[in-house]
Each structure stands twice: as C-alpha cells, then as structure tokens.
Structure 1
Amino acid sequence: MERPLVCVGALVWGKDGRVLLVRTTKWRGLWGVPGGKVEWGETLLDAVQREFQEEVGLRLEDVQYAQTQESVLSGEFHRPAHMLLVDFLATTGDHDVTPNEEIEEWAWVHLHEALEYPLNTVTRSLVTLALRQGEA
C-alpha cells in the first residue's frame, strides 16, 4: 500500500540577504527550494541538512520550522505523489552552489523578487509566509 512521503525543504538566506531558488528536474520546469525525502530513522532537521548538502553543497545554520504543507497528486510534480512537506527557514554562510544532477539552474534573489519566478505552489506558499513574517 502506498503512503504519503514525508519531505523537507528550506528557504535559505545567504550572508548578503538574498535567498536561494532552484529549478529541478522534478517540478516540470518550475522553481522551488532544495529539499527531498526524509529517510528512515532520520530527524527532520538532519534530513533538511543532508538534502542541502547533497543537492547544492551548502551547510545550513539557524534552521527554524516554518510550516507544513500537503501536496496530493499535484500535476506540477513529475509523477503522481502524495507528499507532506515540512518547510524550514535557514541561513548559510556560503554562496558557492555545487549542484547535483537534480539541479538544472539556481539563482540568489531578494525575497520580494522570488514571486516573479515561476514557482511551484508549495514554494510560493513558503515565500509568501516569509514575506508576511517580514523576513525580507
């Protein structure tokens, strides 16, 4: 029996105040934030740290819970999936992205400019939350 996947992601500020957006192979050309599935026995915090290291080569600091979202059979995702997405806000001291094979493109942008990108729905929600909280 299939069950929902627990996934993590984070909106991350660099030392110059810009946030990292990525375009991956999994969201049909839409932009989002690095993240992925939580592995068995792994905490949410460990998972988001690992995913950032694997996908973009960045170490996260000041990781804080932001929200939990649900994506059920979204046409934006590359295959049918039911995901519980646990979102975080964080910082990093490094701007040097080392992308893995999933990352097609990336950009450091000011938070208020992020909504100008074709974001997937869950990332748009996270950016909107950060803007409402005055994280710009």
Structure 2
Amino acid sequence: MTDSHLLPGAGCGAAILDEEGRLLLIQRLKEPEAGAWGLPGGKIDFGERAEDTARREIEEELGVRIELTGLACIAETINKGDGRHWVAPVYTARILSGEPRVMEPHKHGGWGWFALDELPLPLTSPAHDYLASLGRQVPKA
C-alpha cells in the first residue's frame, strides 16, 4: 500500500501580465514556501482539468476572471516546508474582468504588479521556474 502523502501532488498557476508587462504576484502565508511571493493558483481537485483549476483558483484568490493564453512551463516544488512534491503547469493569462484584491487573507499577505526586473524576494519555486522559461534568472533570497 502506498502512502499518498509521498506521491507528488498536482497544482497549477498562472503568470498574469498587465499591459505594461508587469507580473501579478501574491505573497503566501502558508506552506509550502510561506512568506514568499509567487504566482496565483492552487491544488487541482480530482476530476478537474488544470485549466479549469487555474481559472477557479485565481477567481477565489484575487476576485478576477482570467483568460488563459498559453502554457508557459511545468513547475516543481519539492519539500519547501510542507514535505510534499508538487508538479504544476503554469499558464500565461490575462485578466478579463475584475480588479485584483486579496480574497483569502488567511492565505495571502498581499498582492501586486511587479516589473520583471524589480521582483520582490523571496520568490516561490514556480515563480523561479516561470522566469527561467523566459530566460531570466532571479537571485534566491
């Protein structure tokens, strides 16, 4: 019998850019990677397509409706405070409607639009993986 806690989990996220090319990041308050700034997204529920999860999670977290515009990369988060291994597609996206705001203050400490050369640190593993897919390296704090 396999311990399901030892199996990789599935999540997803979205790299949302505004008209000025700034990236929307949220600050995590919970593990994995509590305190770090990252891409919005979350855990995929059984039977839910990753694309649907990304749209649902971002509406729950930020109160905005998004359109996915492509697949940017596959991110991995391995034992970053929760003892788990997460695999997550990261989509590129844009906001269709709504203004971002923290909808889950027990999970997120804030949000913001950031120029790619002025990102807050530390960044989550998926944010690093997304930036690497663009050919950018960001120092780890």
TM-score, normalised relative to structure 2: 0.80
- Find the partner of 1:120 among 118, 124, 137: 124
- Say whether the 8 Å CA contact 1:14–1:93 is kept in structure 2: no
Unaligned runs of 5+ in 2: 137-141
Structure 2 CA distance for partners of 1:131 and 1:92, relative to 1, 3 Å? farther
Q: Which ranges of structure 1 fall in alignment gaps of 5 or more residues?
A: none
1:32, CA displacement in angstroms? 0.5
> Relative to 1, partners in 2 of residues 1:53 and 1:45: Cα closer, same or farther, differing over 3 Å?
same
Q: Percent identity?
A: 28
> TM-score, normalized by length of structure 1?
0.82
What residue in structure 2 maps to residue 107 of structure 1? 112
Moved over 3 A (4+): none
The equivalent residue for 2:90 is 87
Instruction: Give the Cα separation in 2 of the matches to 1:105 and 1:15.
Output: 21
TM-fit CA distance, 1:40: 1.1
**CA deviation string 1:67-126 (max 9, x = no partner):** 11222222xx3x211111211111114572231131111111122322x53212321221
Residue 109 of structure 1 aligns with an amino acid whose one-letter code is F
